Amino acid sequence: MNFALIPARAGSKRIPHKNVKDFCGQPLIAYSIKAAQDSGLFDDIIVSTDSPEIAELAISLGASAPFMRPKALADDFTGTREVIEHAINALSGQGKHYDYCCCIYATAPLLSVEYLNKGFEILKANDEKSFAFSVTHFDFPVQRAMKMTEHGLAPMFPAFVDARSQDLEEALHDAGQFYWGTTAGFLSKKAMFSSHAEAILLPRHLVQDIDTEEDWIQAELMYRAQKLAI
């Protein structure tokens, strides 16, 4: 059995009420719930929240909220892994046991069912791996990054200042969309970003972090452009 877990706490600071804010005509969280539903992969789609209002919205959208997340796990410092572990244990306490869990961020309106399915298939086919998660390429060589100092701009990696961009190794980063794992893997001490995981490479046009108002505007533009292209 599989379940999708969508974390959606109430206390977003940089974009207030981010998880339920209107995004191109729907609450932001609706897109993640819909992708999970459309994938056909999940026996249950569960929202982990500390907010009764978000829980009610999630249920109206076809998900469930069989427990409330403790306030101690809904602050600015709680990691995603802790939220997943809490959900697995809470569900186990209700007599519900699953083989796989997929954590889907509520802030992933560009999530493609194709890659969600691909992540599951790759994980299921490899018994030596415990996780599979979305990654994408940086859109600029990280070795050419700069920083502001008290003396002005300075390269973060001086050894690469004169290197041609085409000669630099391509770097990947977490795409922040989904994290597949066996429930045993999530409850273990195995690290996610390690050899225990498979990387599911997404094209950059399907990835946009949403942490600031500028991110939000960019994500809406990307979403609308994709809809027009269909």
* 28 touches 21 (CB < 8 A): yes
Does 114 fall in a domain? yes
Helix/strand/coil for 7: strand
144 in a domain, yes or no? no
Can you give the three-state secondary structure of 167-219, one letter per residue? HCCCCEEEEEEEEEEEHHHHHCCCCCCCCCEEEEECCHHHCCCCCCHHHHHHH
pTM of the model: 0.95
Cβ neighbours around 145 below 10 Å, total = 12
125 within some domain: yes
Task: Count Cβ atoms within 10 A of the Cβ of residue 213 and give its class: 0-12 exposed, 13-18 middle, 19 or more buried.
Answer: exposed
Residue 165 lies in a domain: no
Span 40-66, pLDDT tens digits: 999 999 999 999 999 999 999 999 999
pLDDT of amino acid 230: 64
Residue 143 domain flag? no
**CA 27 to each of CA 20, 147, 167: distance values in angstroms, whole numbers, following the listed order:** 5, 36, 43
pLDDT of residue 172: 97
* Domain hosting residue 99, numbered range: 2-135+173-229
Percent of the chain at pLDDT > 70 equals: 100
The rounded distance, in Å, linking the Cα atoms of 63 and 36 is 9
Confidence of residue 227 (pLDDT cuts 50, 70, 90): confident
What dihedral do alpha carbons 189, 210, 98, 36 form, nearest 10°? -160
Query: Is residue 140 domain-resident?
Result: no
CA 7 vs CA 22, 104, 143, 168, 176: distances in Å:
18, 7, 33, 36, 12
Instruction: Determine, yes or no, domain membership for 146.
Output: no
What confidence score (pLDDT) does residue 144 get?
A: 93
CATH of the domain at 64: 3.90.550.10
Report the domain count for the chain: 1
Identify the band that residue 228 occupies on the pLDDT scale cut at 50, 70 and 90. confident
Write the single-letter amino acid at 142: V
Note whether residue 148 is domain-resident: no
For 172-221, how does the pLDDT look when each residue is reduced to its tens digit (9 = 90+)?
999 999 999 999 999 999 999 999 999 999 999 999 999 999 999 999 99
